[in-house]
Amino acid sequence: MDTNQIYDSTVKHFLTPIRSLMDDDEVTEVMVIGPNTVYFERHGIIHQSDCKFPDNAALMAAVQNIAEFVNRQIDENHHSMDARLPDKSRVHVVVAPASRRGTCLTIRKFQQSSFRLDSLIERGSLTAEAAEFLRLAVMLHKNIVVSGGTGTGKTSMLNAMSAAIPEDERIIVIEDSSELQLNQKHTVYLEAQPPRPDGKGGVTIRDLFVDSLRMRPDRIIVGEVRRGEALDLIQSMISGHAGSLTTVHANTPRDAASRLETLCLMSDTSLPLYVARSQVASAMHLVVQLIRLPDGSRRVQTISESLGLDDHDTYVWQNLYEFKSHGRDQSGRIQGQLEATGVVPTFADEVAQLGLDHHVQHTRDLFFPDSILATSTGAPS
Protein backbone atom coordinates (compact mmCIF):
# COMPACT_ATOMS: atom_id res chain seq x y z
CA MET A 1 0.00 0.00 0.00
CA ASP A 2 1.29 3.47 -0.84
CA THR A 3 0.67 6.54 1.31
CA ASN A 4 -2.45 7.64 -0.59
CA GLN A 5 -4.04 4.22 -0.26
CA ILE A 6 -3.31 4.19 3.47
CA TYR A 7 -4.81 7.66 3.80
CA ASP A 8 -7.91 6.64 1.86
CA SER A 9 -8.38 3.54 4.00
CA THR A 10 -7.88 5.27 7.35
CA VAL A 11 -10.07 8.26 6.46
CA LYS A 12 -12.91 5.95 5.48
CA HIS A 13 -12.49 4.15 8.82
CA PHE A 14 -12.56 7.31 10.93
CA LEU A 15 -15.48 8.76 8.96
CA THR A 16 -17.55 5.57 9.27
CA PRO A 17 -20.30 7.37 11.26
CA ILE A 18 -21.06 9.56 8.22
CA ARG A 19 -20.14 7.03 5.53
CA SER A 20 -23.73 6.75 4.30
CA LEU A 21 -23.73 10.48 3.52
CA MET A 22 -20.28 10.39 1.95
CA ASP A 23 -21.36 7.52 -0.34
CA ASP A 24 -24.61 9.21 -1.39
CA ASP A 25 -24.01 10.86 -4.77
CA GLU A 26 -26.93 13.23 -4.25
CA VAL A 27 -25.41 14.69 -1.07
CA THR A 28 -23.17 17.65 -1.88
CA GLU A 29 -22.13 18.81 1.59
CA VAL A 30 -21.82 17.21 5.04
CA MET A 31 -21.78 19.48 8.11
CA VAL A 32 -20.83 18.09 11.54
CA ILE A 33 -21.34 20.20 14.69
CA GLY A 34 -19.89 18.25 17.59
CA PRO A 35 -20.30 14.47 17.75
CA ASN A 36 -24.11 14.39 17.96
CA THR A 37 -25.28 16.82 15.28
CA VAL A 38 -24.91 16.20 11.54
CA TYR A 39 -26.54 18.08 8.67
CA PHE A 40 -26.27 17.46 4.94
CA GLU A 41 -27.22 19.21 1.74
CA ARG A 42 -29.15 17.45 -1.00
CA HIS A 43 -30.43 19.26 -4.12
CA GLY A 44 -29.65 22.59 -2.49
CA ILE A 45 -31.73 21.92 0.66
CA ILE A 46 -30.19 21.30 4.11
CA HIS A 47 -31.51 18.36 6.15
CA GLN A 48 -30.59 16.98 9.57
CA SER A 49 -29.23 13.44 9.66
CA ASP A 50 -29.50 10.72 12.29
CA CYS A 51 -25.77 10.05 11.92
CA LYS A 52 -23.63 10.57 15.02
CA PHE A 53 -20.04 10.05 16.15
CA PRO A 54 -19.65 7.97 19.32
CA ASP A 55 -18.11 10.91 21.18
CA ASN A 56 -15.95 13.98 20.64
CA ALA A 57 -12.78 11.87 20.89
CA ALA A 58 -13.89 9.86 17.86
CA LEU A 59 -14.64 13.04 15.91
CA MET A 60 -11.28 14.56 16.84
CA ALA A 61 -9.53 11.32 15.88
CA ALA A 62 -11.02 11.70 12.39
CA VAL A 63 -9.89 15.33 12.24
CA GLN A 64 -6.37 14.52 13.47
CA ASN A 65 -6.12 11.71 10.93
CA ILE A 66 -6.96 14.12 8.11
CA ALA A 67 -4.52 16.69 9.49
CA GLU A 68 -1.70 14.16 9.71
CA PHE A 69 -1.93 13.08 6.11
CA VAL A 70 -2.10 16.63 4.73
CA ASN A 71 0.73 17.71 7.03
CA ARG A 72 -1.29 20.39 8.81
CA GLN A 73 -1.94 21.19 12.46
CA ILE A 74 -5.20 21.47 14.34
CA ASP A 75 -4.85 22.08 18.11
CA GLU A 76 -5.12 24.78 20.75
CA ASN A 77 -2.65 26.91 18.78
CA HIS A 78 -4.26 26.27 15.39
CA HIS A 79 -8.02 26.62 15.73
CA SER A 80 -8.93 25.84 12.09
CA MET A 81 -7.69 23.87 9.12
CA ASP A 82 -8.37 23.52 5.42
CA ALA A 83 -7.65 20.14 3.87
CA ARG A 84 -8.67 17.75 1.15
CA LEU A 85 -9.74 14.10 1.32
CA PRO A 86 -8.27 11.44 -0.99
CA ASP A 87 -11.33 11.76 -3.26
CA LYS A 88 -10.61 15.54 -3.51
CA SER A 89 -13.53 16.54 -1.31
CA ARG A 90 -12.81 19.85 0.44
CA VAL A 91 -12.59 19.89 4.25
CA HIS A 92 -12.75 22.74 6.76
CA VAL A 93 -12.40 22.23 10.51
CA VAL A 94 -12.85 24.58 13.47
CA VAL A 95 -12.19 23.25 16.99
CA ALA A 96 -13.13 24.38 20.49
CA PRO A 97 -12.98 26.85 22.12
CA ALA A 98 -13.33 28.85 18.89
CA SER A 99 -16.27 26.59 18.03
CA ARG A 100 -18.57 26.80 21.05
CA ARG A 101 -20.56 23.65 20.21
CA GLY A 102 -17.54 21.44 19.76
CA THR A 103 -15.54 20.39 16.71
CA CYS A 104 -17.08 21.61 13.45
CA LEU A 105 -16.23 19.50 10.42
CA THR A 106 -17.56 20.65 7.03
CA ILE A 107 -17.00 18.53 3.94
CA ARG A 108 -17.80 19.89 0.48
CA LYS A 109 -17.95 16.69 -1.52
CA PHE A 110 -16.01 16.48 -4.76
CA GLN A 111 -18.34 16.14 -7.72
CA GLN A 112 -17.01 14.13 -10.63
CA SER A 113 -17.68 16.87 -13.11
CA SER A 114 -18.46 16.56 -16.72
CA PHE A 115 -19.73 20.10 -16.30
CA ARG A 116 -20.18 21.98 -19.50
CA LEU A 117 -22.65 24.70 -20.23
CA ASP A 118 -24.94 22.10 -21.82
CA SER A 119 -25.29 20.35 -18.46
CA LEU A 120 -26.35 23.64 -16.87
CA ILE A 121 -28.99 23.99 -19.59
CA GLU A 122 -30.34 20.56 -18.64
CA ARG A 123 -30.49 21.64 -14.98
CA GLY A 124 -32.44 24.75 -15.91
CA SER A 125 -29.71 27.17 -14.78
CA LEU A 126 -29.18 28.51 -18.30
CA THR A 127 -30.95 28.70 -21.64
CA ALA A 128 -29.31 27.56 -24.87
CA GLU A 129 -29.06 31.19 -25.97
CA ALA A 130 -27.37 32.37 -22.78
CA ALA A 131 -24.98 29.40 -22.86
CA GLU A 132 -24.00 30.23 -26.44
CA PHE A 133 -23.43 33.85 -25.43
CA LEU A 134 -21.07 32.79 -22.64
CA ARG A 135 -19.18 30.42 -24.96
CA LEU A 136 -18.64 33.25 -27.42
CA ALA A 137 -17.62 35.64 -24.64
CA VAL A 138 -14.96 33.16 -23.50
CA MET A 139 -13.72 32.70 -27.07
CA LEU A 140 -13.58 36.50 -27.45
CA HIS A 141 -11.23 36.63 -24.45
CA LYS A 142 -13.58 38.63 -22.28
CA ASN A 143 -12.65 38.89 -18.60
CA ILE A 144 -15.50 37.21 -16.76
CA VAL A 145 -16.24 37.26 -13.04
CA VAL A 146 -18.63 34.67 -11.61
CA SER A 147 -20.33 36.23 -8.61
CA GLY A 148 -22.60 34.71 -5.99
CA GLY A 149 -23.06 33.72 -2.38
CA THR A 150 -21.85 30.53 -0.70
CA GLY A 151 -23.20 27.38 -2.35
CA THR A 152 -24.58 29.09 -5.45
CA GLY A 153 -22.45 26.99 -7.83
CA LYS A 154 -19.68 29.44 -8.70
CA THR A 155 -17.03 26.76 -9.15
CA SER A 156 -19.33 24.65 -11.32
CA MET A 157 -20.12 27.65 -13.52
CA LEU A 158 -16.45 28.55 -13.83
CA ASN A 159 -15.64 24.97 -14.76
CA ALA A 160 -18.45 24.90 -17.34
CA MET A 161 -17.38 28.14 -19.00
CA SER A 162 -13.76 27.01 -19.14
CA ALA A 163 -14.80 24.23 -21.52
CA ALA A 164 -15.17 26.92 -24.22
CA ILE A 165 -11.45 27.74 -24.08
CA PRO A 166 -9.79 26.47 -27.29
CA GLU A 167 -7.61 23.36 -26.96
CA ASP A 168 -4.55 25.13 -28.36
CA GLU A 169 -4.36 27.62 -25.49
CA ARG A 170 -2.14 27.21 -22.43
CA ILE A 171 -4.17 27.56 -19.23
CA ILE A 172 -2.83 28.26 -15.74
CA VAL A 173 -5.28 27.46 -12.93
CA ILE A 174 -4.58 28.95 -9.49
CA GLU A 175 -6.57 27.90 -6.42
CA ASP A 176 -6.44 27.92 -2.63
CA SER A 177 -7.77 24.38 -2.62
CA SER A 178 -7.84 22.51 -5.91
CA GLU A 179 -11.40 22.02 -7.17
CA LEU A 180 -11.46 22.91 -10.85
CA GLN A 181 -11.08 20.11 -13.38
CA LEU A 182 -10.66 21.40 -16.90
CA ASN A 183 -11.03 19.27 -20.01
CA GLN A 184 -8.10 20.83 -21.87
CA LYS A 185 -4.89 18.80 -21.80
CA HIS A 186 -2.57 21.81 -21.71
CA THR A 187 -3.59 22.96 -18.25
CA VAL A 188 -1.21 23.68 -15.37
CA TYR A 189 -2.73 23.48 -11.87
CA LEU A 190 -1.16 25.53 -9.08
CA GLU A 191 -2.35 25.24 -5.47
CA ALA A 192 -1.55 27.46 -2.49
CA GLN A 193 0.16 25.85 0.50
CA PRO A 194 -0.05 26.75 4.20
CA PRO A 195 3.13 27.36 6.19
CA ARG A 196 4.81 24.39 7.86
CA PRO A 197 4.77 24.14 11.66
CA ASP A 198 8.00 26.18 11.71
CA GLY A 199 6.19 29.01 9.93
CA LYS A 200 8.09 28.59 6.69
CA GLY A 201 7.20 27.17 3.30
CA GLY A 202 3.84 28.89 2.84
CA VAL A 203 2.80 29.62 -0.74
CA THR A 204 0.04 32.17 -1.30
CA ILE A 205 -2.29 32.71 -4.24
CA ARG A 206 -0.38 35.90 -4.89
CA ASP A 207 2.94 34.01 -5.01
CA LEU A 208 1.46 31.62 -7.54
CA PHE A 209 0.00 34.44 -9.59
CA VAL A 210 3.44 36.04 -9.94
CA ASP A 211 4.78 32.62 -10.99
CA SER A 212 2.00 32.18 -13.54
CA LEU A 213 2.90 35.38 -15.39
CA ARG A 214 6.31 33.85 -16.12
CA MET A 215 4.82 30.62 -17.45
CA ARG A 216 3.60 31.93 -20.83
CA PRO A 217 -0.15 31.71 -20.08
CA ASP A 218 -2.84 32.24 -22.69
CA ARG A 219 -5.41 32.14 -19.89
CA ILE A 220 -5.21 32.60 -16.17
CA ILE A 221 -8.04 31.17 -14.07
CA VAL A 222 -8.14 32.04 -10.38
CA GLY A 223 -10.59 29.83 -8.52
CA GLU A 224 -11.54 32.62 -6.12
CA VAL A 225 -10.04 35.99 -5.26
CA ARG A 226 -10.09 36.67 -1.52
CA ARG A 227 -7.16 38.93 -0.75
CA GLY A 228 -4.60 41.28 -2.25
CA GLU A 229 -3.99 38.99 -5.24
CA ALA A 230 -7.03 40.71 -6.75
CA LEU A 231 -4.78 43.61 -7.70
CA ASP A 232 -2.39 41.34 -9.59
CA LEU A 233 -5.29 39.71 -11.41
CA ILE A 234 -6.94 43.03 -12.31
CA GLN A 235 -3.67 44.51 -13.56
CA SER A 236 -2.93 41.42 -15.66
CA MET A 237 -6.41 41.66 -17.20
CA ILE A 238 -5.70 45.17 -18.48
CA SER A 239 -2.11 44.54 -19.54
CA GLY A 240 -2.08 41.69 -22.01
CA HIS A 241 -3.77 38.73 -20.32
CA ALA A 242 -7.40 39.20 -21.35
CA GLY A 243 -9.74 36.25 -21.11
CA SER A 244 -9.21 35.63 -17.40
CA LEU A 245 -11.91 33.89 -15.37
CA THR A 246 -12.44 34.04 -11.62
CA THR A 247 -15.10 33.94 -8.89
CA VAL A 248 -15.92 36.29 -6.05
CA HIS A 249 -18.39 36.27 -3.15
CA ALA A 250 -20.93 39.01 -3.86
CA ASN A 251 -24.68 39.39 -4.27
CA THR A 252 -24.84 41.74 -7.28
CA PRO A 253 -22.50 42.75 -10.13
CA ARG A 254 -22.04 46.12 -8.44
CA ASP A 255 -21.10 44.38 -5.20
CA ALA A 256 -18.68 42.15 -7.12
CA ALA A 257 -16.90 45.22 -8.50
CA SER A 258 -16.81 46.84 -5.05
CA ARG A 259 -15.50 43.61 -3.53
CA LEU A 260 -12.67 43.42 -6.08
CA GLU A 261 -11.92 47.08 -5.48
CA THR A 262 -11.64 46.48 -1.73
CA LEU A 263 -9.44 43.43 -2.23
CA CYS A 264 -7.12 45.45 -4.49
CA LEU A 265 -6.70 47.95 -1.66
CA MET A 266 -5.73 45.06 0.66
CA SER A 267 -2.55 44.44 -1.33
CA ASP A 268 0.79 45.71 -0.04
CA THR A 269 0.84 48.26 -2.85
CA SER A 270 -0.28 51.73 -1.80
CA LEU A 271 -3.06 52.45 -4.25
CA PRO A 272 -5.48 55.40 -4.23
CA LEU A 273 -9.15 54.41 -4.20
CA TYR A 274 -9.93 56.08 -7.52
CA VAL A 275 -7.09 54.17 -9.21
CA ALA A 276 -8.33 50.83 -7.85
CA ARG A 277 -11.87 51.63 -8.98
CA SER A 278 -10.73 52.72 -12.43
CA GLN A 279 -8.68 49.57 -12.93
CA VAL A 280 -11.50 47.27 -11.79
CA ALA A 281 -13.93 49.05 -14.12
CA SER A 282 -11.54 48.68 -17.05
CA ALA A 283 -10.70 45.04 -16.35
CA MET A 284 -14.16 43.55 -15.84
CA HIS A 285 -16.11 42.83 -19.01
CA LEU A 286 -18.88 40.57 -17.75
CA VAL A 287 -20.30 39.42 -14.44
CA VAL A 288 -22.31 36.20 -14.27
CA GLN A 289 -24.42 36.58 -11.14
CA LEU A 290 -25.62 33.36 -9.51
CA ILE A 291 -28.37 32.88 -6.95
CA ARG A 292 -29.70 29.99 -4.89
CA LEU A 293 -33.50 30.16 -4.82
CA PRO A 294 -35.67 29.19 -1.83
CA ASP A 295 -36.46 25.81 -3.44
CA GLY A 296 -32.74 24.97 -3.42
CA SER A 297 -32.20 25.39 -7.15
CA ARG A 298 -29.22 27.34 -8.41
CA ARG A 299 -29.82 29.76 -11.24
CA VAL A 300 -28.03 32.43 -13.21
CA GLN A 301 -29.73 35.60 -12.04
CA THR A 302 -28.16 38.04 -14.50
CA ILE A 303 -25.41 38.30 -17.08
CA SER A 304 -24.22 41.90 -16.98
CA GLU A 305 -21.74 43.90 -19.01
CA SER A 306 -19.56 46.51 -17.37
CA LEU A 307 -19.64 49.91 -19.10
CA GLY A 308 -16.92 51.42 -16.93
CA LEU A 309 -17.46 54.47 -14.75
CA ASP A 310 -19.73 57.46 -15.20
CA ASP A 311 -18.85 61.11 -14.53
CA HIS A 312 -19.34 60.53 -10.81
CA ASP A 313 -16.95 57.53 -10.74
CA THR A 314 -19.85 55.14 -10.25
CA TYR A 315 -19.88 51.72 -11.91
CA VAL A 316 -22.26 51.47 -14.86
CA TRP A 317 -23.84 48.17 -15.90
CA GLN A 318 -26.20 46.91 -18.52
CA ASN A 319 -28.00 43.60 -18.08
CA LEU A 320 -27.87 41.39 -21.14
CA TYR A 321 -29.83 38.52 -19.55
CA GLU A 322 -32.15 38.44 -16.54
CA PHE A 323 -33.90 35.58 -14.77
CA LYS A 324 -37.69 35.86 -15.01
CA SER A 325 -39.75 33.79 -12.57
CA HIS A 326 -43.11 32.36 -13.60
CA GLY A 327 -44.30 31.09 -10.22
CA ARG A 328 -44.03 27.54 -8.84
CA ASP A 329 -45.09 24.16 -10.15
CA GLN A 330 -47.16 21.62 -8.19
CA SER A 331 -44.09 20.32 -6.36
CA GLY A 332 -43.13 23.81 -5.24
CA ARG A 333 -40.20 24.23 -7.63
CA ILE A 334 -39.73 27.77 -8.90
CA GLN A 335 -40.39 28.07 -12.63
CA GLY A 336 -38.66 30.55 -14.91
CA GLN A 337 -35.73 31.05 -17.21
CA LEU A 338 -32.95 33.43 -18.16
CA GLU A 339 -34.23 35.83 -20.81
CA ALA A 340 -32.41 38.28 -23.06
CA THR A 341 -33.13 41.92 -22.25
CA GLY A 342 -32.73 42.99 -25.87
CA VAL A 343 -29.62 45.03 -25.07
CA VAL A 344 -26.78 44.48 -27.55
CA PRO A 345 -23.31 44.06 -25.97
CA THR A 346 -20.74 46.70 -26.86
CA PHE A 347 -18.43 44.02 -28.25
CA ALA A 348 -21.02 42.52 -30.62
CA ASP A 349 -19.03 43.30 -33.78
CA GLU A 350 -16.00 41.34 -32.50
CA VAL A 351 -17.68 38.02 -33.36
CA ALA A 352 -17.56 38.81 -37.07
CA GLN A 353 -14.15 40.49 -36.84
CA LEU A 354 -12.60 37.36 -35.32
CA GLY A 355 -14.37 34.97 -37.70
CA LEU A 356 -16.57 33.31 -35.10
CA ASP A 357 -19.76 33.66 -37.16
CA HIS A 358 -20.13 29.89 -37.51
CA HIS A 359 -20.57 29.59 -33.73
CA VAL A 360 -23.63 31.84 -33.78
CA GLN A 361 -26.98 30.08 -33.81
CA HIS A 362 -29.18 31.27 -30.96
CA THR A 363 -27.62 34.72 -30.47
CA ARG A 364 -27.94 36.30 -33.92
CA ASP A 365 -30.08 39.13 -32.58
CA LEU A 366 -27.24 40.00 -30.16
CA PHE A 367 -24.25 39.74 -32.44
CA PHE A 368 -25.85 40.53 -35.81
CA PRO A 369 -28.77 42.85 -34.99
CA ASP A 370 -28.48 44.66 -38.34
CA SER A 371 -28.94 41.45 -40.31
CA ILE A 372 -32.06 40.61 -38.27
CA LEU A 373 -33.49 44.05 -39.00
CA ALA A 374 -32.63 43.76 -42.69
CA THR A 375 -34.31 40.38 -42.93
CA SER A 376 -37.46 41.61 -41.19
CA THR A 377 -37.76 44.61 -43.54
CA GLY A 378 -37.00 42.65 -46.67
CA ALA A 379 -33.74 44.48 -47.29
CA PRO A 380 -30.70 42.52 -48.48
CA SER A 381 -28.76 41.00 -45.56
Helix (H, G, I), strand (E, B) or coil at 280: helix
| Same-domain status, 62 and 148 | no
Greater model confidence, 209 or 376: 209
Task: Find the CATH number of the domain harbouring 320.
Answer: 3.40.50.300
**Domain closes at, from 81, 108, 135:** 108
Q: What tens digit of pLDDT does each residue of 148-173 get?
A: 998 898 988 999 999 999 999 999 99
User: Is residue 378 situated within a structural domain?
Assistant: no
Are 156 and 113 within 8 A, CB to CB?
Answer: yes
| Same-domain status, 47 and 172 | no
User: Is residue 83 situated within a structural domain?
Assistant: yes
Greater model confidence, 218 or 373: 218
User: Is residue 277 situated within a structural domain?
Assistant: yes
| Same-domain status, 71 and 196 | no
User: Is residue 207 situated within a structural domain?
Assistant: yes
Are 364 and 371 within 8 A, CB to CB?
Answer: yes
Q: What is the count of structural domains for the chain?
A: 2
Task: Find the CATH number of the domain harbouring 33.
Answer: 3.30.450.90
User: Is residue 200 situated within a structural domain?
Assistant: yes
Distance CA 127, CA 124 (A): 7
| Same-domain status, 250 and 361 | yes
User: Is residue 380 situated within a structural domain?
Assistant: no
> Domain range for residue 300?
117-373
| Same-domain status, 127 and 55 | no
Q: What tens digit of pLDDT does each residue of 54-67 get?
A: 999 999 999 999 99
Check whether 375 has a pLDDT greater than 50: no
**Domain closes at, from 78, 108, 138:** 108
Global pTM exceeds 0.75:
yes
| Same-domain status, 317 and 196 | yes
Distance CA 371, CA 381 (A): 5
Residue 46 carries which side chain, given as an amino acid letter? I
**Domain closes at, from 108, 131, 162:** 108
| Same-domain status, 96 and 123 | no
| Same-domain status, 211 and 66 | no
Distance CA 354, CA 138 (A): 13
| Same-domain status, 80 and 136 | no
pLDDT at position 255 is 96
Strands (DSSP E) found in 311-370: 315-328, 334-340
* Residue 142, phi-psi category: left (phi > 0), alpha (psi -120 to 50), beta (remainder): beta
pLDDT at position 247 is 95
Residue 210: HSE in the Cβ half-sphere, 13 Å Cα cutoff: 6
| Same-domain status, 162 and 270 | yes
Average pLDDT of the chain, as a whole number: 89
Residue 6 carries which side chain, given as an amino acid letter? I
Q: What tens digit of pLDDT does each residue of 296-345 get?
A: 888 999 999 999 999 999 999 999 999 999 888 888 788 889 999 999 99
List Cα–Cα distances, 33 to 18, 99, 320, in angstroms.
12, 9, 42
pLDDT at position 194 is 79
| Same-domain status, 297 and 345 | yes
pLDDT at position 171 is 96
